[in-house]
Amino acid sequence: MPANLPPTYFEAEKRYREAKTPADGITALEEMLAIMPKHKGTDKLKADLRRRISKLKSKQQQKKKLGRRDRSYTIEREGVGQVVLLGTPNVGKSALVAALTNADPPVADFPHSTWKPTPGMMYFENVQIQLIDMPPVSKEHTEPWLLDIARRADIILVVVDVQTDPMQQLEETVSFLKDNRIAPLGMADLYGVTDRWTFVSFLVVANRSDDQSTEENFEIFKSLVEDDWSLIPVSAKTGRNFDLLRQTLFTNLEIIRVYTKVPGKGPDRKAPFVLKKGSRLEDLASKIHKDFLEKLKYAKVWGKDVYDGQMVQRDHVLQDGDVVELHM
C-alpha cells in the first residue's frame, strides 16, 4: 500500500534535513510522525522515524552530560598535600599562586578574573605541595565543584588584602564556608551535630603586606580577629614571608619525611618517604613493600630523638628527617 504522504510531511522533512541541533531534528521528526497517515503502508516509515528520534534523543542526552562535566572540575592530587586558596574578589589569590608555583593563572587588577580552578606545585625543601587557585567566593552563586574541592583539601588558605578591609573579607569568606558546612579543624565542639560538616585546617594570609607602610594595617587586623587564627602577612609582589608560609603549610599538613639507606651507604635525600605524623617503623616498612613488613626484624635510625644508628623495634615512632636502615 502506498504511503500517500501530504505536502506538509515533505515540508517537515526539509526542516529535519536542515536542522542544526538534535532538538530541532527531534521536533521535525515528531512533526513528520504526527502528519503521516495511519495505515499499513506507513508502518516501516514510522518505525524508521522512531529510530531516528531515539538516536537523536540519545545524542542530545550525551551532550547534556558533557555540558555538566564541562562545568565540573576534579583536581588530581599531586605532591604531599593539597592547599586550596579561597577569598573574596581581588585579594590577590592568583598572584600568590603565580609567585609560589609553576602555574600561570590569569592575574588582573579587576575582580573575577579567575573562573576555574588552577593548580600549581610549590616546593618546600625536597617535597612539593599542591596549591589551587580558586574563583572568588560569592553568596549569590557558587558552582558545586568549588565546595567539593574545598571539602577535599588538606588546608584552606584564606586570602585577604591587608590594604582594603581585611576583617570584612575574612568574615565574608568564613561565613560563606560555614553556610556550606565547612569549618576550621579543631572547632567541631562549637557546631553540635557534626556528621554533616566538613572540618579542614585553616590558615589566613594577609596579602599585599608589601612594605613597612602596611605593618600598622596588619597589626590592626590582628587585633580585631577574635578567633585563634594563624595569621601570616605575605606579599605576592615582594615574596615577603614566603619561606614562613611554606614552612607553616608543611607543618599544618602533619606529615613527616623519612629517608632509607642500605648498610654502608648514605641515604637518598632527594626522594623521601612521606608518612603521617605519628607513624611507626612498621608503617614505613609496609609502605615500602608488604614483604618488608612481614620480614622486618629491627632497624637502625639516625635522627633528632635518637643517637646515631640506634636500634629500634617495629613500634618506634618516626620523626621528620629520620634516616632508617631496615634489617630483615
Give the DSSP letter string of 153-168.
-SEEEEEEETTS-HHH
Answer yes or no: are the C-beta atoms of 328 and 298 closer than 8 Å.
no
Evaluate whether 93 touches 100 at the Cβ level (below 8 Å): no
Give tens-digit pLDDT for 228-275: 888 999 999 999 999 999 999 999 999 999 999 889 888 888 889 999
Unique residue bearing C-alpha cell 600561570: 104
- Enumerate residues 6+ apart whose C-beta is below 8 A from 231: 204, 205, 206, 218, 221, 222, 225
Counting Cα atoms < 13 Å in the Cβ hemisphere of 154 gives: 18
DSSP for 210-263, written as a single string: -SGGGHHHHHHHHHH--S---EEE--TTT-TTHHHHHHHHHHHHTEEEEEE--T
| pLDDT 10s digits, 210-226 | 988 899 999 999 999 98
Segments of the chain with pLDDT less than 50: 1, 68-70, 110-113
CB 59 within 8 A of CB 32: no
For residues 327 and 295, the answer to whether their CB atoms sit within 8 Å is no
Interacting residues of 157 by C-beta distance below 8 A, sequence separation 6+: 83, 84, 85, 86, 131, 203, 204, 205, 249
What does the block give as the cell for 80? 604531599
The separation between the first and the last C-alpha atoms of the chain, rounded to the nearest angstrom, is 88
Adjacent-strand bridge partners of 159: 205
User: In whole angstroms, how far apart are CA 70 and each of 73, 140, 305?
Assistant: 8, 21, 51
Give pLDDT, residue 208: 96
Q: Could you give the residue ranges of the DSSP H alpha helices within 71-196?
A: 93-100, 144-152, 166-179
d(CA 220, CA 240): 19
CA–CA dist 128, 255 (Å, integer): 12
Q: Residue 119: helix, strand or coil by DSSP?
A: strand
Closest CA to 131 of 91, 102, 88: 102
- Is residue 9 left, alpha or beta, with left meaning phi > 0 and alpha meaning psi from -120 to 50? alpha
